[in-house]
Structure 1
Amino acid sequence: MTGRFKGRTAFVTGGSRGIGKEIVKRFAEEGANVAIIDVNEQAVIETEKELAEKGFPIYTKIASVTEQEQIEQAMKEVYGAFGAIDILVNNAGVLRDNLLFKMTDDDWLTVMDVHLKGAFYACRAAQKYMVKQQYGRVINISSTSALGNRGQANYATAKAGIQGLTKTLAIELGPFGVTVNAVAPGFIETDMTKATAERIGVPFAELAKAKANEIPVGRIGRPEDIAQAVAFLADERSSFINGQVLYVAGGPEN
């Protein structure tokens, strides 16, 4: 790995497991100071230990993206520790899948709060630092579900909203040297997709095989596939890519 992020600081929400953890590892391996906020205390402890043992500079905090004060305090502490906030990855997410007639108010609001309120709070907090330093990279994690997916009225709506937020902030923040882009993963092997398999009563291996048969490259995605895309958009040299949604799904999305 190169040191292309040496001296940069990356702030990743939901960075202790799955895709988020792989993104954090990628930044750390390429020289960045990394900061994680997450609500999963045990996963945060394990990830912090794993990275610290490798000598990577890391900040962690148990915090919820739905709590404005917690987000702003974490940003303040990260800036104090590392002197900058250069990269923000809005990765924190939850699933509350159900068909519309079964979906509860709580199913809807929980997904909206974590994905949309969380991304809004984090972007608003980070932009103060990025605008001041005239440099920043914001990468929001969307999903192919933004295009519509059965049983995910809440999740699809939230992920489509993330794309609208991305394009709007790209217009507002671009003049200050801050680019805002989104990565939209397809079917990725994570705890969330394994939980989906369990919910529908299908062994994960069977679900993965069925999905792989639908994907042109013939396999499902891995967290490192998403980390690669995020790192590409976070690169200094990607400064002319702004307001884009990069689908990482093994094939074209409509």
Structure 2
Amino acid sequence: MSKVVVITGAGGVLCSTLAKALAKQGFKIALLDLKLDVITKIAAEINSEGGSAIGVVANVLQKESLEKAKEIIHQKIGSCDILINGAGGNHPLGTTSNPFFLEDDLKNETDGFKTFFDLDTEGIKFVFDLNFIGTLLPTQVFSKDMIGKKGCSVLNISSMNAFTPLTKIPAYSGAKAAVSNFTQWLAVYFSKVGIRVNAIAPGFFLTDQNRSLLTIENGNLTERGKTIIGQTPLGRFGEPEDLISTTLYLCDETSSFVTGIVIPIDGGFSAFSGV
């Protein structure tokens, strides 16, 4: 019987790519997202190519919403065997304007200019909730399905920010560090019931969320984008397809002795000192 994979944040570029790849391997896919029209279209694409997928609206910050989604998934394709926690993101209110603080910044009255001292508590809370609580709650709901079964696992989406924080985005970096730590904690906690828990840590991929930060309208790189490519030995941004092989490995039973790890997929960014 085909295993059921539940993917949160499935409407995004990265997770929709993983969903399509897993479907081609015979997994039944439940696409969870707030945007029904987006996941319905992705499910239709998967089904038209011979796969099996459904789209279900769910809010990863509301346990009741996740429980309702779980009921629908049970009715339509079965109980969850593999959970991919892909929901996440950043928020401008948790981001500083400059990478370094200068004393003159305190006098900067430019509209929207933010130092560390101006960071909005609600913006930071939003980022932590979306990334960490948005990983914890789906795991609470769907990992119960895995108890008593074999070959089940949880795959979290961390980030290279979790290893070394990037400038300007303290909330996102801290939240992803929490995801990595939670991955290790949960791997130990679930070890006696055979549920493996791992994470992948993507480096720099162009997505709808960060495209405007890394490129300009004509496709050329921003200064931040140039810095990133300069620090990436492979000399490019990641493509969504670059995540597929590692994800398939961690979801497959060939990795049955692998749990509690966070795998960087970053083009060598974390290995390069800059010198």
Structures share a fold, TM > 0.5? yes
User: Aligned equivalents of 1:61 and 1:108: distance in 2?
Assistant: 28
Letter in 1 for 2:24: E
Which residue is equivalent to 2:137?
121
User: Aligned equivalents of 1:22 and 1:35: distance in 2?
Assistant: 13
Letter in 1 for 2:157: I
Tell me how far 1:203 sits from its aligned partner.
5.9
Q: Tell me whether 1:96 sits opposite 2:111 in the alignment.
A: no
Q: Deviations over 1:224-246 (max 9, x none)?
A: 11232211111111011100010
Q: Deviations over 1:110-155 (max 9, x none)?
A: 1111111111111111221111324411110000111211111110
User: Aligned equivalents of 1:252 and 1:244: distance in 2?
Assistant: 18
Which residue is equivalent to 2:14?
19
Which residue is equivalent to 2:48?
53
For structure 2, which runs of at least 5 residues remain unmatched after alignment? 97-115
Which residue is equivalent to 2:2?
7
Tell me how far 1:210 sits from its aligned partner.
4.6
C-alpha contact (below 8 Å) 1:197/1:203 kept by paired residues: no
User: Aligned equivalents of 1:49 and 1:129: distance in 2?
Assistant: 26
Identity fraction in percent: 28
Q: Secondary structure at the match of 1:205?
A: coil
For structure 1, which runs of at least 5 residues remain unmatched after alignment? 1-5
Which residue is equivalent to 1:205?
220
Q: Secondary structure at the match of 2:190?
A: helix
User: Aligned equivalents of 1:136 and 1:30: distance in 2?
Assistant: 16
- Return the match for 1:28 from 11, 15, 23: 23
User: Aligned equivalents of 2:188 and 2:70: distance in 1?
Assistant: 23
User: Aligned equivalents of 1:121 and 1:204: distance in 2?
Assistant: 38
Which residue is equivalent to 1:87?
82
Q: Are residues 76 and 96 of structure 1, via their aligned partners in 2, closer, same or farther at CA, if it must alter by over 3 Å? A: same
C-alpha contact (below 8 Å) 1:134/1:176 kept by paired residues: no
Tell me how far 1:253 sits from its aligned partner.
2.1
Tell me how far 1:193 sits from its aligned partner.
2.0
- Return the match for 2:246 from 220, 229, 232: 229
Letter in 2 for 1:103: L
User: Aligned equivalents of 2:220 and 2:250: distance in 1?
Assistant: 31
Larger fraction in helix:
1
Letter in 1 for 2:75: G
User: Aligned equivalents of 1:214 and 1:150: distance in 2?
Assistant: 14
User: Aligned equivalents of 2:16 and 2:68: distance in 1?
Assistant: 21
Which residue is equivalent to 1:3?
none
Tell me how far 1:252 sits from its aligned partner.
5.5
Q: Are residues 69 and 42 of structure 1, via their aligned partners in 2, closer, same or farther at CA, if it must alter by over 3 Å? A: same
Letter in 1 for 2:260: G
Which residue is equivalent to 2:105?
none
Q: Are residues 114 and 244 of structure 1, via their aligned partners in 2, closer, same or farther at CA, if it must alter by over 3 Å? A: same
**How well do the aligned residues superpose, as a CA RMSD in angstroms?**
1.9
User: Aligned equivalents of 2:150 and 2:50: distance in 1?
Assistant: 29
- Return the match for 2:208 from 191, 199, 203: 191
C-alpha contact (below 8 Å) 1:197/1:204 kept by paired residues: no
Q: Tell me whether 1:137 sits opposite 2:132 in the alignment.
A: no
Query: Greater CA radius of gyration, 1 or 2?
Result: 2
Tell me how far 1:72 sits from its aligned partner.
1.8
Tell me how far 1:218 sits from its aligned partner.
2.0
Which residue is equivalent to 1:249?
266
Which residue is equivalent to 2:32?
37
C-alpha contact (below 8 Å) 2:66/2:141 kept by paired residues: yes
Which residue is equivalent to 2:103?
none
C-alpha contact (below 8 Å) 1:131/1:173 kept by paired residues: no
User: Aligned equivalents of 1:11 and 1:206: distance in 2?
Assistant: 35
Tell me how far 1:92 sits from its aligned partner.
0.6
Q: Secondary structure at the match of 2:29?
A: strand
Q: Are residues 128 and 91 of structure 1, via their aligned partners in 2, closer, same or farther at CA, if it must alter by over 3 Å? A: same
User: Aligned equivalents of 2:254 and 2:185: distance in 1?
Assistant: 22
Letter in 2 for 1:34: I
